[in-house]
Structure 1
Amino acid sequence: MTVTFTIINIAVMLLLIFGLFKLQQKHVSFSKRVFFALGLGIVFGLALQFIFGTGSEVIIGTIDWFAIIGSGYVKLLQMVVMPLVFISIVAAFTKLKLSKNIGKISALIIGILVGTTAISAAIGIGTTLVFDLEAVQIQAGEAETARGEEIETRQVEVETLTIPQQILSLIPANPFLDLTGARPTSTIAVVIFAAFIGVAYLGVKRKEPEVAESFAKLINTLNTITMRVVTLILRLTPYGVLAIITKVTATSDYESIAKLGKFVIASYVALGIVFLVHLLLLSLAGLNPITYVKKVLPVLTFAFTSRTSAGTLPLNVKTQSEELGVPTGIANFAGSFGLTIGQNGCAGVYPAMLAIMIAPSVGINPLSPSFIFTVILVVAISSFGVAGVGGGATFAAILVLSALDLPVALAGLLISVEPLIDMGRTALNVSGSMTAGILTSKVTGELDTAVYVEPKQTVGV
């Protein structure tokens, strides 16, 4: 019987995919198809859980098959991340778009990412205090205890890395290894390697222009082909979103979510306020925030459902360059740095909220101005250091809590709602990187405001 129900569920999924395909044939806009897929996935996932129950053999078997579409799509995006980053940045040098101000661009992007993360920490602290959240309010079960022990084990690994060692980990000792994405810091290492290639190209261009011209043609050809591959993969976005959100809604533990509803609501309030800060910064730069929201919603939707900033990178870069008027080189720098430095959600809001929640359990007054200032400072610094240990909310939390001498195991109390919160955190991380790209382009005078203003439907078509 289990096999029969699984086959029926697969048939329903294929029918929904066919419906999305027909919408594409009718030239329904990419954004509408993505949101329609999101809605279908929520309804289908809830229906599966209501009929079969969480953890049933039917659900497990069905989701396993659905992963071919959802996880398969994410893997295709991850496949093209490194080629996209490397080729696009080198191509920016061959087109003379990064030759004069690469240092300024890098400093601006990192400064905006870390600065907005400090703001995110302050907002996370304020939200936690307003909602009166404390770790002692949460009961620890077997899963929470096991998660706490796992975090304590990781703490040992994190504490062995000094800040100089974290910085050294960004430098590519073997660029070919990093092109495979083998290390947590591979993306930034590839950015650095590509920048060296670009600078070398500029030197060769002055001495041997014919050789440089041949190299530029090769890179530009590879860049065109790579972007075409990205476009082909992005066409699958609605189907990927459908499968991914179906899995999320079908397997979520809604009883645990309800018990920790106060923390979930507080988290999303904080994340929402930080997103408003992004819009405010764009407004102060003389850009229409509504235009930004309309153009980035498909990107944030995918980031939200997939919970992967790396997988979102191709869509992130393509949207910045084709919809928001950001030069490809800057878009790649912002997107790549944003994967591991200054993540507003994972390295800003989340660890700050945890620090304030846990502080009372060890006799620290969370309302103390000196403690609040210390938390913000530690979060800002750690948001850069996260790159050395692989990124992610867990590592960010370990870094911050360890620096503040707070028990890291208590971070495991939120394991049951971790996936739900992580969806919003990932979307905010991506928005932060895109905001950094736009603001940097605006400051350096390279933002194509005509492209930013014009409504276009180029991404994913």
Structure 2
Amino acid sequence: MTSFGAQIIYGLIAGLILGLVARSIGGENWLATTLTAIGSAYVGLLKVLIPPLVVTAVVTSIANLRQVTDAARLAWQTLLWFAITAFVTVFVGIGIGLLMHPGRSASIDVAAAAAPGSIGSWSAFIQSLVPSNILGLDLWVRGSGDNLSVNPDFNVLQLLLISIAFGIAAVKVGKDAEPVLGVARSLLTIIQKVLWWIIRLAPIGTAALIGKAVAVYGWETLGSLGSFVLAIYIGLALVIGVVYPLVLKFNGLSIAQFYRKAWPVTSLGFASRSSMGTMPVTERTVVGALGVPRAYGSFAVPLGATTKMDGCASIYPAIAAIFVAEFYGINLGLTDYLLIVFVSVIGSAATAGTTGAIVMLTLTLSTLGLPLEGVGLLLAVDPILDMGRTAVNVTGQALIPTIVAKREGILDEELFASDRTAASAEG
């Protein structure tokens, strides 16, 4: 039987071919429409599981952490390694930006400059931490009159905080909370079974998502921003091909084994452009294939999916800020570069539950005092960049729980070294 990793690769190849065919047909053709529908349906299936997975996994993991020595130390080590890797990757981004000077070679029309609709801010981040309701649910009202629609959207950071609070409360209550914890464990088992069925569809979903991307954007979208796109992808390649392998090597873990098992996570992140949509697969891979204890992995993965974004929060804003400064003829000093590092290491959580990289970029630009209109210059290529950014994000979200578990002596190294993958980890 063909391995799951090979099936994903076949899906990527099939998607590329289908996308090229759809683009050659041109217009809103049936193939492009079909690819879009299948890809959106697959990401939708994954996202449906996010709220119940976060709640049941976090509540039960906190209860199970009673059985894990130094649970507080695990949480601290997770946040520390989030910061360490963000610190290194933002310097990679700054280095690439200073070497390649993407803003000097851009021939984009200044008329493309436009302020974004949503802007990241520290005050908005603090306000977003306070749940507006017990479900962590935001209601977005669109349109007016007969066209009025209300669209529910879960704020995953709020949902995470609510789940942590309930989990800690359940531990403090003791025996009286056991029935509730039993229900949570049972629901988690059912959710994981459904998740396994969805994971098996990943090659099809990947093919549709890649096909859609090729059909919609193609190479023409790169236009005059080719040097900027190249700079971003060189930075992302250095993170996923150099920084992360060095972290694995430093912690005594096999680089090849990690990437072989994390491949479904990386590829689905690339295709779906959604850390949240990939999170169920990330959690299953970390626990079922990489050997991280469920009690810890079920807590660390949702936390990483909301706050660990090396692609969106480190590489991209660093290079983009240099691009905008060069485009407008503004010189950045040492203090400005230190501010970029600070925002990347501390501020990535400010993008949680929002449109990730764009909000993070506006937060960086506003902190540096650079024109926010510069964001509009980069929007044309953002979908292409978002694929690589998300692939790096989700790979880092799988990496950190693995190395923390290894450092703390709780990693199942026999499982890590085995041939078991997320797709075969049923149960």
TM-score with structure 1 length normalisation? Answer: 0.83
Q: Residue in 2 aligned with 1:337?
A: 303
* Residues matched between the structures, number: 414
8 Å contact from structure 2 (residues 22, 32) kept in 1? no
Give the Cα separation in 1 of the matches to 2:386 and 2:62: 36
Report the counterpart of residue 3 of structure 2 in structure 1: 29
Contact 2:308–2:349 (8 Å) recurs in 1:
yes
Change (3 A) 1:304 1:101: same
Query: Which deviations, in whole Å up to 9, do the C-alpha atoms of 1:18-51 show, x marking residues without a partner?
Result: xxxxxxxxx322111111011011012112212x
Provide the residue aligned with 2:293 in structure 1.
327
Q: Which residue does 2:258 correspond to in 1?
A: 292
CA contact (8 A) 1:41 1:243 kept: yes
Aligned partners of 1:170 and 1:186 also within 8 Å: no
For residues 64 and 127 of structure 2, the distance between their equivalents in structure 1, rounded to whole angstroms, comes to: 30
Any residues of structure 2 matched to 1:348-387 within 5 Å, and which?
A: 348-366=314-332, 368-387=333-352
1:381 Cα deviation after fit: 2.6
2:134 to 145, 152, 175: 175
Is 1:127 equivalent to 2:96 in the alignment? yes
Deviation at 1:321, TM superposition (A): 0.1
Map residues 77-92 of structure 1 onto 2, 5 A cutoff: 77-92=46-61
* Deviation digits for residues 108-158 of structure 1 (CA, Å, limit 9, x no counterpart): 22232233222221111111121122167231276xx2xx4241x434xx4
**Residues 246, 403 of structure 1: alpha-carbon distance in 2 compared, 3 angstrom cutoff:** same
What residue in structure 2 maps to residue 6 of structure 1? none
Backbone CA RMSD of aligned residues = 2.6
Contact 1:359 1:365 in 2 (8 A): yes
1:235 aligns with 2:204: no
**Which segment is superposed worse, 61-70 or 243-252?**
61-70
Conserved? CA contact 2:136–2:159, under 8 Å: no
What is the CA–CA distance in structure 2 between the aligned matches of 1:434 and 1:139, rounded to whole Å? 37
Q: Distance in 2 between matches of 1:372 and 1:184?
A: 35
Aligned partner letter, 1:57? E
Query: What is the SS of the residue equivalent to 1:82?
Result: helix
1:253-307 deviation digits (Å, cap 9, x = unpaired): 4223253322222211100111121121111111111111100111110100110
What do residues 288-336 of structure 1 show as CA deviations (whole Å, max 9, x unaligned)?
A: 1111110011111010011011000000000000111112243233322
1:402–1:28: structure 2 CA closer, same or farther, 3 Å change rule?
same
Change (3 A) 1:242 1:141: farther
Deviation at 1:221, TM superposition (A): 1.7
Structure 2 unpaired stretches of 5+ = 141-150
SS in 1 for 2:305: coil
Matching residue within 426, 431, 434 for 2:390: 426
1:103 — aligned with what?
72
Query: CA, structure 1 residues 171+103, in 2 after alignment: closer, same or farther (shift >3 Å)?
Result: farther
Q: Secondary structure at the match of 2:306?
A: coil
Distance 2:2 2:102 in 1: 44
Aligned to 1:23: none
Looking at structure 2, the residues matched to 416 and 371 of structure 1 have their Cα atoms a distance apart, in angstroms, of 26
Where does residue 143 of structure 2 map in the other structure?
Answer: none
CA–CA distance in 2 between the matches of 1:68 and 1:255? 23
How far apart, CA to CA, are the structure 2 residues paired with 1:284 and 1:241?
A: 32
In 2 relative to 1, CA 330–135 (structure 1 residues): closer, same or farther, beyond 3 Å?
A: farther
Quick check: 1:412 aligned with 2:376?
yes
Question: Is contact 2:78-2:300 (8 Å) kept?
Answer: yes
Task: For residue 168 of structure 1, report the CA deviation from its aligned partner.
Answer: 4.3
What amino acid sits opposite 2:18 in the alignment?
F
Structure number with greater Rg is: 1
CA shift in 2, pair 1:292/1:401, >3 Å: same
Mapped contact 1:304–1:424 kept (Cα < 8 A):
yes
Q: Which runs of 5+ in 1 are unaligned?
A: 1-26
Assess, with a 3 A threshold, how the Cα gap between structure 1 residues 384 and 203 changes in structure 2: closer, same or farther: closer
Does residue 201 (structure 1) correspond to residue 160 (structure 2)? The answer is no
Quickly say closer, same or farther: Cα 1:444–1:179, change in 2 above 3 A. Answer: farther
Pairwise CA distance, 1:175: 2.2
Percent sequence identity over matched residues? 30
- Equivalent-residue separation in structure 2 for 1:198 and 1:57 (angstroms): 48
